[in-house]
């Protein structure tokens, strides 16, 4: 403020804060700041068919301690041409499961949903895992692996 009739905009620092005093003319001037356009929300699969590793739906799985194994298994399944889909991905999912069982506090599946039992039953008939219970013990994984590798031994 220079005198009673002439006012100017100015800034004043008070501690950690900066206070901006603006004239009415400055406040009435349209902003010259342009914000970037918001990107269209993207899901797990990008328009070109690739996997969107930044999708929040993955819950950080792609970047966790088993991120490499997770990305490899999901990529194998996504790009699989086998019938049923993912039949050729057993080993990559087994590797991912082995890694995740080394981090039970991080990857423990505490979901007690009944649907898991139905899906697990389906996987036994096809010999291809369609779901993984990340809370399983390693001995369960080892026995499933032996059954997959030696189907003639099967469950007794």
Q: From first to last of its 156 residues, what are the pLDDT tens digits of the chain?
A: 445 555 788 899 999 999 989 898 888 989 888 888 877 778 899 999 999 998 999 988 999 899 999 999 999 999 999 999 999 999 999 999 999 999 999 887 655 554 444 444 444 443 444 444 333 344 444 444 444 444 444 444
Residue 124 belongs to some domain of the structure: yes
pLDDT of residue 109: 67
- Burial level of 125, CB count in 10 A (0-12/13-18/19+)? exposed
Residue 55 belongs to some domain of the structure: no
pLDDT of residue 76: 97
pLDDT of residue 48: 92
- pTM of the full structure: 0.48
Residue 106 belongs to some domain of the structure: yes
Residue 53 belongs to some domain of the structure: no
Q: What is the CATH number of the domain that holds 101?
A: 1.10.287.2900
In angstroms, the CA 115 to CA 126 distance is: 17
Residue 40 belongs to some domain of the structure: no
Query: Side-chain half-sphere of 117: how many Cα atoms within 13 Å?
Result: 3
Residue 67 belongs to some domain of the structure: yes
Domain of 74?
Answer: 61-149
pLDDT of residue 25: 87
Instruction: Write phi, then psi, for 144 (nearest 5 degrees).
Output: -65, -40
pLDDT of residue 127: 41
- What's the total number of domains in the chain? 1
pLDDT of residue 40: 74
Contacting residues for 119 by C-beta, under 8 A, at least 6 apart:
130, 131
CB 143 within 8 A of CB 155: no
Residue 78 belongs to some domain of the structure: yes
pLDDT of residue 8: 82
In angstroms, the CA 14 to CA 11 distance is: 10
- Report residue 88 as tokens: 């050729």
Beta bridge partner(s), residue 45: 51
């Amino acid at each position: 403020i220079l005198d009673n009739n002439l006012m100017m905009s100015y800034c004043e620092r008070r501690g950690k804060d900066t206070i901006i005093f603006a004239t009415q003319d400055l406040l009435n001037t349209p902003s010259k700041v342009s914000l970037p356009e918001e990107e269209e929300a993207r899901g797990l699969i990008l328009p070109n068919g690739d996997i969107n590793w930044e999708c929040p739906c993955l819950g950080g799985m792609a970047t966790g301690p088993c991120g490499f194994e997770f990305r490899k298994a999901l990529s194998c399944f996504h790009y699989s041409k086998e019938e049923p889909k993912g039949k050729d991905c057993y080993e990559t999912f087994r590797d991912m499961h082995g890694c995740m069982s080394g981090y039970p506090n991080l990857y423990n599946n505490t979901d007690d949903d009944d649907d898991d039992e139905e899906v697990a039953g389906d996987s036994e008939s096809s010999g291809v895992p369609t779901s993984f219970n990340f809370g399983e013990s390693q001995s369960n994984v080892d026995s499933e692996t032996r059954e997959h590798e030696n189907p003639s031994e099967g469950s007794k």
